[in-house]
Amino acid sequence: MKIFPSLSTAFFCLFIFSFSISTAQELTDKFKYKATYELTWQIDSTNAESIQNETMLLFTGAGYSRFSSQGHHIEDSIQRVYKERERTPQSFSEMRSKISETKFKYYINKKLADREINFQEEIVKDYYEYSEDLSSIEWNILPETKDISGFAVQKAKTSYAGRNYTAWFTSEIPIPDGPYKFNGLPGLIIKIADEKEYYVFKLTGFKSLKEPIFDTESDEDYLEVDKNKFREIKEEYNVDPIAALGRSGMTISFKSGLGQKEKMMKEHRKELKKQNNPIELK
């Protein structure tokens, strides 16, 4: 019995086999660690009581990483499973009950060697992404050291998007990565905060993944735009979210004569005013 009908088939199979091994290694290297950060932020700079907390996740490996809120990560995972299941009212209710609220619905993917990031976010029903080269962000590594959460850390400073940051990194975890877009230090960032402490990321957990994560790519088709265009689209949505719904085929019929739309828009504008302290100022 011939195992391979021809020599060329044998080579082809060998090629496929080697390709599978190399791809598996590449994927294995992708996300080997999970770092958990607690983000504390003050969304209204005029109100010290507007401080909020959220758990953020960084999946990282030798060359790549993905950062998001824990809520968004869970929501995406659950929705992915839901899409593959039979759609019944029970499964829909079950899915909704498992989803926790998040204020951050973005992903930040980093290519650590090149210090390039890819930012992805959904606005209404459209998926947008932009790339950003962060190699121009320079760190000033200072001699000061201390201990944070059991790690020996060293101080570093940088400026990004209108804020001055102080970071504490550890060479005990030699991964040049950190929360949000921050990267490029000779060790994982354990804590980073802007000088006014409006945005503070602090490591609360770090572990090696028993099973490295392979499939983290989104099923959605992202429309690539530049950062300025993305901001423009987001601003347009913020100014009039009701009109943005209309552009995606959803319409709201307001009760006539009661000024319902005006009331909703007034309330929205009031809320927007309170959200005056984004992480990126420029």
Partner 1 sequence: MKLLKNSFLGTVFLLALGSVSIVTANNENKDLEVEKRACVRTTFSFGVTALTCGDTTEEIIAKIIEADEEICPIN
- Residues forming contacts to partner 1 in the complex (CB under 8 A) are 79, 82-83, 87, 89-90, 92-93, 95-96, 124-125, 241-242, 245, 248-254, 260, 263-265, 267-268, 271
First-to-final CA distance of the chain: 70
> In this structure, which long-range contacts are made by residues 193-199, counting pairs with CB atoms below 8 Å and at least 24 apart in sequence?
193/165, 193/166, 194/163, 194/164, 194/165, 195/163, 195/164, 195/165, 195/166, 196/163, 198/41, 198/42, 198/45, 198/163, 198/277, 199/39, 199/40, 199/41, 199/163, 199/279
- Rounded Cα distance between 161 and 183, Å, is 14
**Beta carbon of residue 94, minimum distance to partner 1 (angstroms, whole number):** 9
User: Which of 227/263 has CB closer to partner 1?
Assistant: 263
**Beta carbon of residue 48, minimum distance to partner 1 (angstroms, whole number):** 22
**Beta carbon of residue 231, minimum distance to partner 1 (angstroms, whole number):** 19
User: Which of 186/241 has CB closer to partner 1?
Assistant: 241
- Rounded Cα distance between 98 and 147, Å, is 37
**Beta carbon of residue 85, minimum distance to partner 1 (angstroms, whole number):** 12
User: Which of 78/161 has CB closer to partner 1?
Assistant: 78
Task: Match 């000088």 to its residue by tokens.
Answer: 195
**Beta carbon of residue 50, minimum distance to partner 1 (angstroms, whole number):** 15
**Beta carbon of residue 79, minimum distance to partner 1 (angstroms, whole number):** 8
User: Which of 4/92 has CB closer to partner 1?
Assistant: 92
Dihedral in degrees, nearest 10, Cα atoms 203, 197, 39, 202: 0
Task: Match 């209710």 to its residue by tokens.
Answer: 93
User: Which of 100/149 has CB closer to partner 1?
Assistant: 100
Handedness of CA 99, 103, 106, 109 (dihedral sign): negative
